[in-house]
Each structure stands twice: as structure tokens, then as C-alpha cells.
């Protein structure tokens, strides 16, 4: 879904893709199904076992809708792709903190925002913080794997999988990256390097 949206927006700039992304940005992030214009996109390709029953949306419907809204906010007015497979949330936040920091120090406000996202007890609070984070990432040109974010949002709703998602986000925030100028692995994470 996201690949198709991105190709339509970044490569072709079709009127349909522009309208769809605008509709997603206007949509309430935690209410899938409220905008008939988005039904086909957010509900149409969902396997039956992941579809909701009754009046409440399923975890999958909530997660897919939120991931698409977040992508639309992130991609707004960007000529380069903001969805990049493999760039998980913790890594993207580390890159954002460093890019917004000064004198080699990561921006503490970005890290605090990420901590609020990780510790939020309510889905609505987490999603609003993520939406705000997407605007920062957009302004800094930091891409993110929005498909993986959708999976993470789904797993956050499971009592047995929530803690694992948060743990992985923290690990990825501080994970060491391969230096592209050297074949040796860096001995520190980007956040640690900024503090040296």
C-alpha cells in the first residue's frame, strides 16, 4: 500500500495520489473507517481474519490506518521518498536527534518526545506524539519504514508483544551503525558519537 502511494506521489505526482495523501492527513489518526474516501485504501485489501467484527475496528485496521496517516504527514511536500524499507523507528529517531542537535550533541527534545511515545499508556496519546514526530522527520528529511511502523503499532496493542516492541525501539535508538566510509563497524552508536 505505502509503496504504491509513494510511487504515485513521488514519481508520477498523480492527482489521485495527491488527493489520497491529503485525505489521509485530514483523517483522524485513531478512527479508521470514518472517511469513505479512504475505505478502499485502509480497509479494502485487509485479509478477512484481520478485519474487525461488529462496530469496533480491529487492531490491524487501527494499525494500518495510523501507519498510512503517519506516512501522509511525513511525505507532505517532499520530493524524495520518506518511506524507506529497513529504517526502523529507533534508528530514524537517532538520526533526527543528531541532525537537529548542535555542537555534536543530539537534540534532547527529540529524545524526550521518543520517550513519551514509548511510555504512552493510551494509543491516542502515542499516535498524536508520533504524528508530531513525523513533522520533525519531514522537515529534516529523515526517512522511515512506515510498513514496519504499522507492524509495530499492531504489536503494541498486544499485551504479550508490547514490551518487545518498546525494547526494540530502544535498542535501535542506541544500536551501532556501520560506518559507510569504513568496513569496520563503529564502536559507538550515533548518539554516543555525538556525546564524544
The answer to whether residue 158 scores a pLDDT higher than 70 is yes
Residue 196 to residue 193: CA distance in whole angstroms: 5
Segments in the chain forming alpha helices (H): 2-6, 15-26, 39-43, 59-75, 89-100, 108-119, 123-140, 146-156, 162-174, 190-195
Q: Whole domain around residue 177: which residue ranges?
A: 2-195
pLDDT tens profile 25-64: 999 999 998 888 888 888 887 778 888 888 888 999 999 9
**Which pLDDT belongs to residue 189?**
56
In this structure, what CATH number is given to the domain that contains residue 65?
A: 1.10.520.40
Closest CA to 163 of 110, 121, 103, 101: 121
Task: Give residue-wise pLDDT tens across range 89-140.
Answer: 999 999 999 999 988 788 999 999 999 999 999 999 999 999 999 999 999 9
The total number of structural domains in the chain stands at 1
Residue 182 has pLDDT above 90, yes or no: no
Global confidence as pTM: 0.87
Amino acid at each position: 500500500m505505502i509503496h504504491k502511494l509513494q510511487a504515485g506521489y513521488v514519481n508520477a505526482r498523480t492527482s489521485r495520489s495527491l488527493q489520497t495523501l491529503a485525505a489521509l492527513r485530514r483523517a483522524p489518526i485513531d478512527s479508521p473507517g470514518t472517511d469513505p474516501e479512504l475505505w478502499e485504501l485502509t480497509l479494502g485489501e485487509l485479509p478477512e481474519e484481520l478485519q474487525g467484527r461488529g462496530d469496533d475496528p480491529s487492531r490491524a485496521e487501527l494499525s494500518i490506518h495510523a501507519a498510512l496517516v503517519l506516512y501522509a504527514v511525513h511525505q507532505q511536500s517532499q520530493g524524495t521518498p520518506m518511506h524507506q524499507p529497513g529504517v526502523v523507528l529507533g534508528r530514524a529517531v537517532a538520526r533526527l536527534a543528531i541532525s537537529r542537535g548542535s555542537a555534536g550533541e543530539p537534540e534532547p527534545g527529540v529524545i524526550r518526545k521518543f520517550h513519551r511515545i514509548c511510555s504512552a499508556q493510551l494509543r491516542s496519546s502515542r499516535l498524536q506524539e508520533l504524528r508530531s514526530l513525523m513533522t520533525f522527520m519531514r522537515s529534516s528529511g529523515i526517512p522511515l519504514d512506515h510498513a514496519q511502523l504499522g507492524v509495530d503499532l499492531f504489536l503494541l496493542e498486544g499485551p504479550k508483544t508490547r514490551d518487545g516492541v518498546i525494547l526494540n525501539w530502544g535498542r535501535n535508538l542506541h544500536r551501532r551503525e556501520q560506518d559507510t566510509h569504513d568496513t569496520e563497524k563503529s564502536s559507538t552508536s550515533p548518539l554516543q558519537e555525538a556525546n564524544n
